[in-house]
Amino acid sequence: MCAPVLLRFGTDAQKQRFLPRMYPRRGFLGPGLLRAGRGLRPRVAQDARRARRRPYLVTGQKIWTTLGHYGDWIFCLVRTDPKTEKRQDGISFLLIDMKTPGITVRPIVLRTMGHEVNEVFFDEVRVPSENLVHEENKGWTVAKYLLGYERMGTGNISMCKRELARVKELARDAGLLDDPRFGDRLTRVEVELMALEITNLRFLDQLRGGRPPGAEVSLLKIKGTEIQQALTELAMQTAGPLAAIVRPVTAGAPFDAFTAALAPRYCNVRKATIYAGSNEIQRNIIAKATLGL
């Protein structure tokens, strides 16, 4: 998500510093948006040029930070001007080293005992001014650009294709492929996934032509997350009454989405239609920005 942002809004120094590490996945820049309480400079300088060189002091917290315990960096939206009339104004986009003093990452252990998400606290964390992306107080412009790329990725088409193949295997083993009702639903999901992949390729072709993601990419987020949930429901159905305890892992099998028990996987994917902007919000975006309603 952040690489396109730096290509579009980053300084030459930021591009040289971060992009070479991100491309081969040596550096993990994430893990998400921070809605911090404040990201103010320690004091106001009379000289504007001196003010730009002063660090920011960031105080606030971010909950549900996925894989935050692995992150080397975090990109943050912080409020740098609390006196603006519009909530979208007065926000700046900062890159923050997770090893900076004042940052605390606290794990949130789920009911499945898995550690995937975290709560991140910022206590007067000093952030160099050169870590500001784009202009001060113009961070919402950057955030909207980033969200377009995020929503293009939340459909997780390649993962869904793998899960669809696995569901077919489970259904075959359970003797459900000849069940008309199960087969109808499985076929519908497969057709929707094929249509989603074609639509995603169309958007990627637009990107190749230089057009950034617009509001219409919310379609990918809506349908992609609904397909993810439908696949977990079908997987649960293949196990029947024993779904809560079934763990369909074969010896020596590579890691995939089904190495966990079916029930925790089903519960975990309930969040898919909420994160990256809930699907209800995505429909509002499409109605206003794309359909003009």
Enzyme catalytic residues: 150
Distance CA 209, CA 26 (A): 28
Query: Most distant CA pair in the chain: distance in Å?
Result: 77
Neighbours of 158 (CB within 10 A): 9
Residue 8: is it exposed, middle or buried by C-beta count within 10 angstroms (0-12/13-18/19+)? middle
